[in-house]
């Protein structure tokens, strides 16, 4: 009897420990499975967004934007074509109806890029209900890049219904070149976009010094 009791005393704790370890192991597996499921859902969502943006790029790239009326910071009326000559400028177009976080993040990227290529090579067009709202929004950003007001009902001729901010290169022809729709969650895409723009369009030409004879 004593032997049986001793065995029970030893076996029962072992069974309890084993059961507890199995429970924790199963919980860990369940957590890992749930984590993988969540990652797959997020990856699928990002993939869908990327594919959608690529479709929009191929649909609207190299398309002309309407020569719309705009207002400068002084309230003077201009036409979009007044801002361009032969050289390309980087244009960022957004609406107050766009995702605020998306716009804020891209403005941060533009400030950094402007410090590299110069703010005179960048144009920002903001679609808003009133110029006062646009000024109030931009006042907190401390941006030295030229910003122009566009009324909400203005038809650009591209991406009027999609409600997304976008960037492109543009000159006096007013055709979108290198159209890009940023995704705030995937900053690597934006970094790649700016790197390509710099190398292809804004990098200073290298000068060669002729050796003295």
Q: Are residues 25 and 116 in the same domain?
A: no
pLDDT, position 100: 87
Q: Are residues 85 and 18 in the same domain?
A: no
pTM: 0.73
* Cβ-based burial of 91 (10 A; exposed 0-12, middle 13-18, buried ≥19): buried
pLDDT digits (tens, 9 = 90+) for 125-149: 999 888 888 878 777 777 778 889 9
pLDDT, position 33: 61
Task: With CA atoms as reference, report the closest residue to 86 among 206, 204, 207, 201.
Answer: 201
Q: Are residues 155 and 81 in the same domain?
A: yes
Beta carbons of 194 and 109 less than 8 angstroms apart: yes
pLDDT, position 55: 78
Can you give the residue range of the structural domain that contains 169? Answer: 64-202
pLDDT digits (tens, 9 = 90+) for 39-65: 554 445 456 556 766 777 768 888 999
Decide which of 60, 82, 99 is a domain's last residue.
60
Here the tokens at position 203 are 């990098």
The three-class DSSP label of residue 186 is: coil
Residue 7 has pLDDT above 80, yes or no: no
Q: Is residue 165 part of a domain?
A: yes
Q: Is residue 44 part of a domain?
A: yes
């Amino acid at each position: 009897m004593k032997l049986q009791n001793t065995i029970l005393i030893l076996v029962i704790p072992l069974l309890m420990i084993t059961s507890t370890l199995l429970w924790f192991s199963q919980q860990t597996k369940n957590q890992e499975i749930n984590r993988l499921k969540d990652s797959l859902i997020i990856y699928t969502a990002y993939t869908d967004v990327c594919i959608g943006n690529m479709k929009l790029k191929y649909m609207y790239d190299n398309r002309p934007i309407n020569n719309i009326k705009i207002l400068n910071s002084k309230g003077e009326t201009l036409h979009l074509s007044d801002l361009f000559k032969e050289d390309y400028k980087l244009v960022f177009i957004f609406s107050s109806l766009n995702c605020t976080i998306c716009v804020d993040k891209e403005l941060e990227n533009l400030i950094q890029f402007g410090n590299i290529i110069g703010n005179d090579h960048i144009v920002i067009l903001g679609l808003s209900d009133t110029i006062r709202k646009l000024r109030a929004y931009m006042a907190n950003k401390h941006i030295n890049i030229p910003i122009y007001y566009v009324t909400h009902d203005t038809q650009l001729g591209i991406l009027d219904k999609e409600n997304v901010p976008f960037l492109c290169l543009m000159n006096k022809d007013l055709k979108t070149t290198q159209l890009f729709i940023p995704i705030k969650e995937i900053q690597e895409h934006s970094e790649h976009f700016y790197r390509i723009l710099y190398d292809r369009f804004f990098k200073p030409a290298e000068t060669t010094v002729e050796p003295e004879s």
